[in-house]
Amino acid sequence: MPLTEGKMTDTPSKKTAMLNHIAQTLSISTHPDDMEREDMERSKDGQSAPVPFKILAGRSNPPLAREIADVLGIPLMAATVDRFNDGEINIQLGESVRNVHVFVVQSTCMPVNDNLFELFLLIRCLRRASAKSITAVMPYYGYARQDRKTTARVPISASDVSMLLEAAGVDRMLSVDLHCGQIQGFFHHAPVDNLHAFVQHVPYLVKEIVPSFGDNPIAIVSPDAGGVARAKMFMEAMSGMNVSNISLAITIKHRRAAGEIEAMNIVGEIKGKHCIIVDDMIDTAGTLCKAADSLTEMGALSVSACCTHALFSGPALERIGACSLVHVIVSDTIPMKQNVAPGSMAEKAVKEKIKLVSCARLLSQAILSINTGTSVSNLFAVKPR
C-alpha cells in the first residue's frame, strides 16, 4: 500500500523532534552554525584542540615526573604504585582516566627489570581503565645497547622491549637520546619521538663553561665511530651559538672485554685545545675516564664531558673523581646517586665535577606538542638560555 503524503512529511518531523530532545537532554548543540564554530576552533592555526591529559609517575624517577608536572602547571595523577609483602607490584589508579590522554613517566634504569615490568603493568592498567591514548615517556630506554646480534644465540633485547610495550597497549613512545636510532624502527605501530639532550646542554655549556676557555680552540670528541653523528650535531649547535674555532675528533678504542679498554688512539688534532667528550651515557665511566686521561697526556688543555644518561654503575663516581675530567654535564633522565661517602672521590665528583641540567622542560614541550597535535621539530633546535 503506498504511503500517504501526510505520513511522508510526518516521519522526518518526528525524527527531528526526537533528536532535538536528546540533544537538549545531553546539552549538545545541533545548530549548524554552532557545529561549524566548533570545527573552526578545533582546526584553528592548524592545531587540534587540546584534550584532557594527565601525567602518571612510576617509581623510577619521581623528581623528574614532578618537575614535568610543575612545568606543565598540572598535578601528578593520583595513583598507588607500591609493593605487596611478597614483592609483587601493587598498582591502583586514584582517579578516572576514561577518554583521557595519559603520559606515563618511567625510565627503565636500575633496577631495570623491576622498572620495566612496572611500566608494563601501568600501561595495562590504563588500557583496562579505558584511557584514550597512552604515551610511554621513557627518558632512559633500558636494554638499548642490545640492539643487534653481536654473537650467536643472543637476544636483540632492545627490539624485544619494544614488542613488550606494544603488546601492553602503548600508543606512542617519547624518549631522550636513544643509544641508537634504529630502535625507533623496532616499534611497528607506536610512533617514537627521540629528543636530544644537547638542546639543553649546549646553552648551559656556552654560558657557564666556555667563557673559562678564553680564546683557546675547542675540540668536540666522539668516544667511538658510532657517536660521530651525535658529536657533529653538538659541534654545529655550539657553532650556531657563535662559538668559533671548534673542531671534531674521534677516539678509537681497543677493548680487552666489555667495559675494559686495553688501548686508545685519537683521530684528529687535540693538542692545545679544550676537549669536550660527547656521549649518550656514562655506565661505569671506565671508557670516559680512560679517554679523558689519554687526551690530557696528548696535550689537551682540559677535558670535560657532556653525556645524557648518568647510570653511574659500580665505581663510576670514584673514577670520575680521580680522573682528569674537569666538568661532567649530565641530564636527570636517571635520578642521581646521593649516598656517597664523605671525603671520598665519589663525593668530589658529585660536588665539584658533575653538573645536572634538567630535561623536564624539553619533555614538557614535547608532551604539549603531542597533546595538541603540533610538530615537535622545533624541539631539535638549540635555543639560548
Residue with cell 591514548: 133
How far apart, in Å, do the first and last CA atoms of the chain sit?
A: 80
The pLDDT of residue 249 is: 95
Which of the residues 7, 15, 232, 253 is marked catalytic? 253
Enter the C-alpha cell of residue 207.
654560558
Query: In this structure, how many other beta carbons lie within 10 angstroms of the beta carbon of residue 281?
Result: 19
φ, ψ of residue 26 in degrees (nearest 5):
-95, 5
The rounded distance, in Å, linking the Cα atoms of 201 and 235 is 12
The pLDDT of residue 42 is: 44
Half-sphere exposure of 220 (CA within 13 A, CB side): 27
The pLDDT of residue 381 is: 79
Three-class secondary structure assignment of the chain: CCCCHHHHHHHHHHHHHHHHHHHHHCCCCCCHHHHHHHHHHHCHHHCCCCCCEEEEECCCCHHHHHHHHHHHCCCCCCEEEEECCCCCEEEEECCCCECCEEEEECCCCCCHHHHHHHHHHHHHHHHHCCECEEEEEECCCCCCCCCCCCCCCCCCHHHHHHHHHHHHCCCEEEEECCCCCCHHHHCCCCCEEEECCHHHHHHHHHHHCHHHHCCCCEEEEECCHHHHHHHHHHHHHHHHCCCCCEEEEEEEEEEEECCEEEEEEEECCCCCCEEEEEEEEECCCHHHHHHHHHHHHCCCCEEEEEEEEECCCCCHHHHHHHCCEEEEEEECCCCCCCCCCCCCHHHHHHHHHEEEECCHHHHHHHHHHHHHCCCCHHHHCCCCC
The pLDDT of residue 201 is: 96
The rounded distance, in Å, linking the Cα atoms of 10 and 45 is 43
The pLDDT of residue 365 is: 96
Model-level pTM? 0.84
Question: Is the C-alpha dihedral spanning 13, 18, 19, 25 positive or negative?
Answer: positive
Enter the C-alpha cell of residue 24.
537538549
Contact, 317 vs 324, CB < 8 A?
Answer: no
Q: Is 54 a catalytic residue?
A: no
* Residue ranges of the chain with per-residue pLDDT less than 50: 1-10, 23, 25-44, 46
The pLDDT of residue 337 is: 79
